[in-house]
Amino acid sequence: MNYFSNKKFWTFVIILLLVINITAMVTIWLQRHRPGRRGAPPQSQRPAEATALFLKTELGFSEEQVGKFLRMQDDFLEQNGKRRRSIGNLKREIYGSLIDSSADSSINDERIARIGREYAEIEKFAFQYFQKLKNLCTPEQREKFDLLLGQILMKIDPMHQPPHKREIPSHLRKRGEKSPHRKGHPPPPGGPPPM
């Protein structure tokens, strides 16, 4: 008896595969559309409160320092948001002028310059924000703050390191030039992977 030529065998296999596929699809759909589930678990804290908790545990901020930080953070986010919205509006005006053939290019040059000034203000305000945050710290907390800030800066910009520890990315080195790091020493965080 040849099972592979039997119609009953193939009918059973097809029905079995259909049942398995339908069950898998229903299970996936139910997992994604389970009541009360919306992606990430709900957070009871605002991002600023999470940052305040981090500062409290890492730097030992007091309740008074946390309160000042939260007020400072709200002001920073409001000012930063205004500047970013302004930049967005300027960009919409610039790219919207592509549609209008009668648009004056000198107006776009001024808008581009204003975008540059807005970004400069954002950076200035961010620097002042971190300066105020450092001023909230006690002398003992400032040492920890400096270490944390150094780690943050290295993540933002891997080239932000003392010159004697700086790794020159391989694509910027001259052909045949070796890395300035001695053998056995790992490259700095965020540097290029070892070859």
Per-residue pLDDT of 89-130, as tens digits, reads 999 988 888 887 776 778 888 999 999 999 999 999 989 988
Choose between 47 and 43: higher pLDDT. 47
Using alpha carbons only, give the angle 52, 55, 57 rounded to the nearest 5 degrees. 110
Cα(137)–Cα(112) distance, rounded to whole angstroms?
Answer: 38
The pLDDT value recorded for residue 162 is 55
pTM: 0.54
Cα(153)–Cα(172) distance, integer angstroms: 21
The Cα 177–Cα 179 span in angstroms is 7
| pLDDT at 184 (0 to 100) | 47
Confidence band for 7, pLDDT divided at 50, 70 and 90: confident
How confident is the model at residue 88, as a pLDDT?
A: 93
Distance set, CA 77 to CA 85, 129, 144 (Å):
12, 10, 24
Q: From the centroid of its chain, how far is CA 184?
A: 32
Residues contacting residue 111 through CB under 8 Å, at least 6 positions apart:
90, 93, 94
pLDDT confidence of residue 174:
57
Look at residue 45 and tell me whether its pLDDT is greater than 90. Answer: no
Mean pLDDT estimate for the chain: 76
18-42 tens-digit pLDDT: 888 888 888 887 777 666 555 444 4
Angstrom distance (rounded) from CA 85 to CA 172 = 36
Nearest to 126 by CA among 163, 148, 153, 151: 153
Return the pLDDT at 195.
46
> What phi and psi values does residue 90 have, to the nearest 5 degrees?
-65, -40
Q: Tens digit of pLDDT for each residue in 121-176?
A: 999 998 998 899 899 999 989 988 888 888 777 777 666 555 555 555 555 555 65
181 pLDDT higher than 70 = no
Q: How many CB atoms lie within 10 A of CB 52?
A: 20
Q: Is 60 left (phi over 0), alpha (psi -120 to 50) or beta?
A: left
Residue type, 150: G
Which CATH number is 48-160's, of 3.40.50.970, 1.20.120.1490, 3.30.1360.70, 1.10.10.10?
1.20.120.1490
Domain residue extents for the chain: 48-160
